[in-house]
Amino acid sequence: MKTPSFWYTSRGFLSSLLSPLGWLYGKGGKLLRALKKPHRFPIPVISVGNIICGGSGKTPTAIALAHLLQQKGIEVHFVTRGYGGLLQGPVEVSPSHSPKDIGDEPLLLAQHAPTWVAKNRPLGVQKAMENGAHLVILDDGHQTSSLYKNISFVVVNALQGFGNGHVMPAGPLRETLQEGLRRANAIIGIGEGNMPAGLPLFKAKINPQPVSFSLNRVVAFCGLGFPQKFYRTLKDLGATLVATKSFPDHHTYTEDELLELQALAKAQQALLITTRKDWVKISPSWQKHLHVLDIEVQFEDPEGICNFIFEKIPNLHCHPRLRGDDKIKFTPLFS
């Protein structure tokens, strides 16, 4: 779905018209979460999620969090639903998988830690545990009610905020802000701006990685929940954006679309640039014609967020790194 423009403007006619549906959507989600009994595992689960519909930066934040914990000697695995992928799982992501199989974000996660795609996410956690995980990071897990989460981080991007404050389809919220924050343990705030009060706040920023090409004239395209963030990052780097083209989040590009983008860049005598998340979904024959802007999330106080995790999960740092055939003992989820 392409993000409606009125989600990030004042509460106008369309938002007011759709607000009853948003109320129903929010109440329905709350009821479903209340009816599910979360499964608890012997190893801790950390959720990195958000309250809005895409674009806050939760996947690069999950990757940054995994790097911090890996540096402490903790064996981290990711579990994700694999939005848009055909495979039900649980399956470990491998280089042979395509975005059609597992979605786009698992391909990014798997470059940093073992990653399990499972529509039934408790089964994904069980597989991670069987394969030596000390801890699971649940990517996009804030609305997941089938798992007990030791810590729930909500990622908030200051540029994006919470839009018009309405629940889908009247606005970008997956649930009411009050309900979403009630289940959170802390906020990870990306960028400078107002953040929700009442919860621990860990500040972070997006660091674009160095590029080996000129940004004098670029045509930028992406399929993100909040594409303005990508374009703003390019501008902050000094790029001259001669044209931009936004597609729906998780969009799968067709040959015709790529040909049109290539023709536009050629007509503008500009480079064609996209995000790594979009690049991984494009065929290798087209990838070589594109330039990519890579980013990473950097925490302002990495030791502070690590200490917060260890306080919430006091025995985490005591687990030795597993070797060989060592296994963590567990009770099978289904017998």
Spatial CA neighbour of 57 closest among 174, 170, 142, 155: 155
pTM: 0.87
pLDDT in tens, 18-44: 888 888 888 888 888 878 889 999 999
- Give the pLDDT confidence of 203-212 residue by residue, as tens digits: 999 999 988 8
Q: Express as a percent the part of the chain with pLDDT over 90.
A: 60
- 229 near 50, Cβ under 8 Å? no
275/304 same-domain check: no
Between the two ends of the chain, the Cα-to-Cα distance in Å is 39
**Which structural domain range is residue 223 located in?**
210-293
The yes-or-no verdict on residue 330 having pLDDT over 80 is: no
8: in domain: no
Does residue 9 sit within a domain? Answer: no
- Pair 123, 56 in one domain: yes
Residue bearing the bigger pLDDT, 329 or 232: 232
pLDDT of residue 322: 39
* CATH number for the domain that contains residue 279: 3.40.50
pLDDT of residue 202: 97
User: Are 111 and 260 in a shared domain?
Assistant: no
Query: 96-125 pLDDT, tens per residue?
Result: 888 888 988 899 999 999 999 999 999 999
167/234 same-domain check: no
Mean pLDDT over each residue of the chain, to the nearest integer = 88
In a domain, 335, yes or no: no
Residue 2 lies in a domain: no
**% of the chain beyond a pLDDT of 70:** 93
Greater confidence (62 vs 322) lies with: 62
| Mean pLDDT confidence for 209-228 | 90
Residues 131 and 251 in one domain: no
Q: For the chain, what is the domain count?
A: 2
pLDDT class of 1 with cuts at 50, 70, 90? low
* One domain, residues 59 and 199: yes
Q: Are residues 47 and 181 in the same domain?
A: yes
- Do both 247 and 165 map to the same domain? no
| pLDDT score at 318 | 52
* DSSP designation for 252: P
Of 258, 220, 261, 226, the residue nearest 242 (C-alpha): 220
Residues 129-173: pLDDT tens digits? 999 999 999 999 999 989 999 999 999 999 888 988 899 898 899
Angle at 289 between CA 265 and CA 100, to 5 degrees: 110
Residues 162 and 251 in one domain: no
CA–CA dist 30, 180 (Å, integer): 10
Same domain, 160 and 198: yes
For residue 22, CA distances in Å to 2, 141, 308 come to 17, 21, 34
Angle between helix 58-71 and 302-312 (nearest 10): 80
On whether residue 3 sits in a domain, the answer given is no
| Cα–Cα distance measured from residue 272 to residue 261, given in angstroms and rounded to the nearest whole number | 8
Q: How far apart are CA 277 and CA 251, in angstroms?
A: 10
Whether 126 and 166 map to the same domain: the answer is: yes
Residue 323 has pLDDT above 60, yes or no: no
Give the tens place of pLDDT for each residue, 49-71. 999 987 788 999 999 999 999 99
Lowest-confidence range among 26-35, 191-200, 250-259? Answer: 26-35
Matching residue, tokens 């799968």: 252
Using 50, 70 and 90 to split pLDDT, how confident is the model at 331? very low
For residues 50 and 140, membership in a common domain is answered with yes
DSSP 104: S
Instruction: Say whether pLDDT at 177 is over 80.
Output: yes
Question: Which pLDDT belongs to residue 154?
Answer: 96
Evaluate whether residue 276 is within a structural domain.
Answer: yes
CA dist 93 and 113 (Å) reads 10
What pLDDT shows up at residue 317? 59
In a domain, 167, yes or no: yes
Check if the beta carbon of residue 291 is closer than 8 Å to that of residue 238: no
- CATH number for the domain spanning 55: value is 3.40.50.300
The distance from CA 301 to its chain's CA centroid, rounded to whole angstroms, is 21
Non-local (6+) Cβ contacts of 182 within 8 A are none
Q: Is residue 327, in this structure, part of any structural domain at all?
A: no
